[in-house]
Amino acid sequence: MNRAALFDVDGTLADTNHLHVVCWWEALRQAGHTVATHDIHRAIGLPGDDLLAHLLGEDRDTDEDDALTTAHDTLYATWFDRLAATSGAADLLRALDERGWRVVLVTSAGSGELGALRRAVGADDAIAATASADDVEAGKPAPDPVAHALGLVDAAAGEAVFVGDTVWDMEAAARAGVVPVGLLCGGIPRRDLEGAGARAVYGDPADLLRGLEGSPFAEVSGDAEKR
């Protein structure tokens, strides 16, 4: 079995959460919905339909979901050539790859968006596979995307760490039996990440890389060697 280093992308490896907030806010505004940006921020990381249900309620007119999602995607695409990685993102992925970890991206991004994100991160040489919400029936916080990611690299849950920036990431990892590690660079408070199951919390990928030898990655490595 392989050791798997699973990573959310938006807000974790790419500094994009607040761009998503603005684009969802504008898409909703154009459709006549008034939603606070703070509430949108807390919903980032959910698949589109789930995000809209979270913000507008299960009793909303779902017939407009596709139009709202398309409006968001169109607005967000205008930023594709300006997306930026979070600090240390590429270095962290390469460091884990060099240590024998199989790096897998676990994201809700579609193919065009994912391509832009991967260009921004700039570490394709260290990425073994990508798991998308399109590959499973239920996206985060369900464990399905995490379980699918493990299968892509033939890794067991007990030999994997999931790094993300939202409570949805932490909950998905915990439900899949994978060690959750939170990052603050997506804007979610430490207490919320810890409350959702984060085993440890770091500022950003650069901070995690500096503390890698004392992180859950080292703990999982040690457990694997003992077995």
- Evaluate whether 135 touches 105 at the Cβ level (below 8 Å): no
The architecture in CATH of the region 17-78 reads Orthogonal Bundle (1.10)
Angle in degrees, 0-180, between the axes of helices 17-30 and 65-77, rounded to the nearest 10: 130
Q: Residue 139 pLDDT more than 80?
A: yes
Helix or strand (DSSP H, E) at 106: strand 102-107
Q: What is the pLDDT of residue 227?
A: 53
Q: Tens digit of pLDDT for each residue in 58-103?
A: 999 999 999 999 999 999 999 999 999 999 999 999 999 999 999 9
Q: Residue 226 pLDDT more than 80?
A: no
The architecture in CATH of the region 2-16+84-226 reads 3-Layer(aba) Sandwich (3.40)
What residue has token string 């809700």? 108
Residue intervals of the chain classified under CATH 3.40.50.1000 are 2-16+84-226
- Evaluate whether 31 touches 125 at the Cβ level (below 8 Å): no
Residue intervals of the chain classified under CATH 1.10.150 are 17-78
Residue 73: exposure state from Cβ atoms within 10 A (0-12, 13-18, ≥19): middle
Q: What is the pLDDT of residue 204?
A: 98
